[in-house]
Amino acid sequence: MQTRSSETLLRRTFLLGTLGGTSLGLISLASRRAAAAEVTLLETGSTLLYPLFNLWVPKYTAMHPGVRITTQGTGSGTGIAQAISGVAQIGASDAYMSTAQLKKNPGILNIPLAISAQTVNYNVPGLNNANLKLSGPVLAGIYSGKITHWNDAAIAKINPGVSLPNHGITPIHRTDGSGDTFIFTQYLSFSTPEWANNVGYGTTISWPPVQGGIGAIGNPGMLQACGQTPGSIAYIGVSFHEQIAKAGLGTAMLQNRAGNFVVPNPTTVGAAAAALEGKTPPDQRISLIFAPGENSYPIINYEYAIVNSKQASPDVAAAVRSFLNWAVDPAAGNAPEFLGPVQFLPLPEKIAALSKAQIAKIR
Amino acid sequence: MRKSPFRIGLVGLAGIIPGMLIAVVLFLAIYSWPAIHFNGIGFLFRETWNLGNLYADPVTRRGVQVPIGAQYGILVFIIGTLATSAIALLIAVPVSLGVAIFLAEGAPPHLRPALSLIVELLAVVPSVVYGLWGVAVLVPLIAHYIAPALDSMLGFIPFFAGGSPTGFGLLSSSLVLTLMVVPIITATIYSALLQVPRPDKEAAYALGAMKFEVAVRAMLPMVRGSIVGAIILGLGRALGETMAVLMVSGGAINYLPGTITSPISTMASFIVSQLDSAEQDPTGMAVRSLAEIALVLFIITVIVNVIARLITKGLHVGLASRA
C-alpha cells in the first residue's frame, strides 16, 4: 500500500504533466498557424453594402489563400468609427465623411466601390402591390408627424384614383449610425427646404417627435419592423430587394428633381449616376442625391470603403490594396455576377480610375 | 499588531473591488466634465437629443466647441428606464413571492431541488436570448392579442387605450425585464425562507394557521429584510439591462411615451445605439454626453441602493425593537 504522501505526489505529477503537455501542444498549434503568415482583414460597417461583401469575400479568398477577410454588418457609423480607430482595415459606409471629420482625421480615404440605391418601402394593406407615389415634401411631412394617416390630402393629391385607407402611418427610422439615414435625409433636405432648415441630414439626426415612431437597427431590422407593422413606412437599401419582395412590402415611386415619379431600376439609377459622375472630385466625396434628369432616381449613392492610408504593416496594406483593386475591377468585383443580385451598378470608368488612384495611396 | 504580508496581500486584493468602482466613477466624471459643464442641469429635463449638424463647422458655445444646433437632453431615457423597471418590478414581485412560497412550503419536498434549479436556470439565460424571444414571440403577441385586449378591457384609461401597431414599446420591454428579474428575486427570497427556524413555523401551525397563513403571516414578515434586498437586486438588473431592451423597445427618440404600448428608449439601450453615431462628432461633445448619461444611470442606481439599505435598516430596527 502506498503512503498518502507518495499517492498525492503521483497524482500531482500526473496532473501537472497532462496540463504541461496540453499547453505545449496548444502553443505549438498556434505558432504553426502564425507561421503561415496569414493576413487577416476586418471589414465592418454599412448593412447596405454587407450583402455584396458577402458575395465578394468567398470568391476573393478562394483565389487568394493568404488572406482572411471577416465581414460584419454594423452600420455606416460603426464602419467610419472603426476605420478611423484602426480596429477595422476596411470600413464600409454609404456616407462620405464630413470635411470637419477629415480635418480631424487626415489620411482617411473615401473610396467608392459601386453605385447603390435606396428604396422607400411601406406596408399598407391592399396597396403593397401597387407603387404608391411619394414625394420628398410628403415624406418629410410623414417623418415630422404632420401627415399622420395614409388618406391624408397631400398623399391623395399625388396619387389620383388610388383609394387610400384611413390607417395611421408609423414612420420607421434607423437608430444606429446609418448611411441609409444619411442618404434618405439628404433627399428630404434637398427636396424640402423646411426639413433642411429644421432637421438637416446626417448618419444620425434628431428625428422629430412622432408618437409611435419606431427606431430599428440595421437594414434587416427596418425590413422586419416594416413587415410586422401594418401602416408603416421605412427606407431600406436596394440590396435587400429580394427580402422586400418576399415580405410583400410595397415599393414607392419617388419624385425626382424634374418632378417625375420614378421606380428604382437600373435605368433610372443609371440616369442619375450619369448626370452627376462628371462632377465627382478627386477625393470622391460627393452626394448623388436628387440628381437632375427626367428619368433620374433621386436616392442613389456611391458605396464607400473608408480606409486609412496608413495601415499597420506593408503586408496588410498590400492585402487591402489587392482586395480593393479586385473589387472595383469591372471584370472582377464590379462584374454583373456580383452586382446583379444586389441590384447595384458598376462604377463608371472615370470613377473607377479615381478609386484606383486613391487605392494606390494606401501604404 | 504586525502587518503580515498575508494581511497586506488580503487587504490589497479586497480593495481592488471598491478601487475599481471608484476608478470607474472618477473616469466617467472626469471624461464627461466638459459635457456636464455644457449641458447644465437642464440635461435631465430636456426632451430633445440633437447631435447638431455634423457636416458643418463646429461653433463655440459656453466656452466649448460643439456642432451647430447641438442640444442634449435625456428626459426621454430617464423616464424610459424608470418606467420599464417600475412596471417590471410591479409584475415580478408578486409573482416571485408566490413562486418562492410555493418552492419553500407548497412543493413536494422531493421535487424541490429540481424546481429550484429550473428557476435558477432562468437567471443564467443570456439577455440576448430573451431579446430574440421578445422580437420573435412577444412583440407579435402584444401587437395582435395583448394590446387589443388591454384596449377593450381598460380602454377607458388613456394609458391603456389605443392598441399597438408594432408591439415594440414599453409593455414588451417591461415584460422581458420581468422575465429576467423574477429568477433573481425568487432565488433570494427562497433561500431566505429556508432559513426561517422550524420552531417559529410550528408555533404558527399550533395556533391553528393554515399553510397559506403560515407562509404569509408568519414567515414573510421574518424575511422582510431579504425581500427588500431581493427587490433591490432585481431592480439593479432591470435598470442596467441593455441588449434585451434594445431589441424590443422600439428605439423612440425625442418624445415621451403616451400609452403603455408606446415605443421607448432606456439610458443603457440609448448609449449602445448611439455610440457609433456619437463618434462621428468631430468635437467629441456627443461621446462625452453619452458618458454623462452613464454617470446619471450610475447615480440613479446608487440612490436606489441607498434608499433600499435605509428601508432594510429601518425594518431590522423595527423587528429588533419589537423582539
Residue B265: phi and psi, rounded to 5, are: -135, 145
Integer Cα distance of B312 and B323 in angstroms: 16
Chain B environment of A202 (Cβ under 8 Å) = 51, 53-55, 280
Handedness of CA B44, B45, B46, B47 (dihedral sign): positive
Chain B environment of A209 (Cβ under 8 Å) = 47, 253-255
The yes-or-no verdict on residue B291 having pLDDT over 90 is yes
The yes-or-no verdict on residue B196 having pLDDT over 80 is yes
| Closest residue to A98, CB basis, from B54, B258, B273 | B54
The yes-or-no verdict on residue A134 having pLDDT over 90 is yes
In this predicted model, what pLDDT tens digit does every residue of B209-224 receive, in sequence order? 888 888 888 888 888 8
The pLDDT confidence band at residue B286, using thresholds 50, 70 and 90, is very high
Integer Cα distance of A267 and A265 in angstroms: 5
| Closest residue to B250, CB basis, from A80, A203, A215 | A215
The chain A residue lying nearest B54, using CA atoms, is A202
DSSP A226-237: HHHSTTEEEEEE
| Apex B245 CA angle, B180 and B292, nearest 5 | 115
Task: Give the number of other Cβ atoms within 10 Å of residue A164's Cβ.
Answer: 16
For residue B241, the model assigns a pLDDT of 93
Taking phi over 0 as left and psi of -120 to 50 as alpha, with beta for the rest, A99 belongs to alpha
Provide residues of B within 8 Å CB-CB of chain A. Answer: 47-51, 53-58, 69, 135, 139-140, 143, 165-168, 246-247, 250-255, 258, 262-263, 265, 273-274, 276-277, 279-280, 282
Integer Cα distance of B258 and A229 in angstroms: 19
Q: Which range has the top average pLDDT, A173-177, B88-92, B209-213?
A: B88-92
Asked if residue A218 lies in contact with residue A47, where contact means CB atoms within 8 angstroms, the answer is yes
Residues A78, B276: C-beta atoms closer than 8 Å: yes
Averaged pLDDT score across all residues of chain A: 91
| Closest residue to A231, CB basis, from B165, B258, B274 | B165
The pLDDT confidence band at residue A271, using thresholds 50, 70 and 90, is very high
CA distance B23 to chain A (A): 24
Residue with cell 401597431: B165
The chain A residue lying nearest B263, using CA atoms, is A212
For residue B277, the model assigns a pLDDT of 82
* Mean pLDDT of the B155-175 span: 87
In this predicted model, what pLDDT tens digit does every residue of A7-60 receive, in sequence order? 888 888 888 888 888 888 888 776 665 545 689 999 999 999 999 999 999 999
The yes-or-no verdict on residue B323 having pLDDT over 60 is no
Residues in Cβ contact with B188 at an 8 Å cutoff, skipping those fewer than 6 apart: B226, B229, B230, B233
Q: Is B66 exposed, middle or buried (0-12, 13-18, 19+ CB in 10 A)?
A: buried
| Closest residue to B165, CB basis, from A84, A170, A216 | A170
Beta bridge partners, A45, equal A73, A92
For residue A193, the model assigns a pLDDT of 95
Residues B49, A99: C-beta atoms closer than 8 Å: no
How high is the ipTM of this complex? 0.84
Residue with cell 395582435: B144
State the cell numbers at A55.
Answer: 458575395
The pLDDT confidence band at residue B164, using thresholds 50, 70 and 90, is confident
Chain B environment of A100 (Cβ under 8 Å) = 54-58, 282
For residue B281, the model assigns a pLDDT of 84
Integer Cα distance of B290 and A47 in angstroms: 24
Chain B environment of A175 (Cβ under 8 Å) = 251, 253, 273-274
Beta bridge partners, B296, equal none
| Closest residue to B251, CB basis, from A75, A205, A215 | A215
Residues B246, A217: C-beta atoms closer than 8 Å: yes
For residue A34, the model assigns a pLDDT of 53
Chain B environment of A101 (Cβ under 8 Å) = 54, 280, 282
Averaged pLDDT score across all residues of chain B: 89
Task: Give the number of other Cβ atoms within 10 Å of residue B206's Cβ.
Answer: 9
The yes-or-no verdict on residue A263 having pLDDT over 70 is yes
State the cell numbers at B226.
Answer: 431579504
CA distance A234 to chain B (A): 13
Q: Which range has the top average pLDDT, A235-244, B2-11, B59-68?
A: A235-244
Share of chain B above pLDDT 90, in %: 50
The yes-or-no verdict on residue A184 having pLDDT over 80 is yes
Residues A214, B47: C-beta atoms closer than 8 Å: no
In this predicted model, what pLDDT tens digit does every residue of B95-145 receive, in sequence order? 999 999 999 888 888 998 899 899 888 888 999 999 999 999 999 999 999
Q: Is A288 exposed, middle or buried (0-12, 13-18, 19+ CB in 10 A)?
A: buried
The chain A residue lying nearest B165, using CA atoms, is A229
Residue A112, SS3?
A: strand
Asked if residue B224 lies in contact with residue B308, where contact means CB atoms within 8 angstroms, the answer is no
For residue A104, the model assigns a pLDDT of 86
Chain B environment of A225 (Cβ under 8 Å) = 166, 168
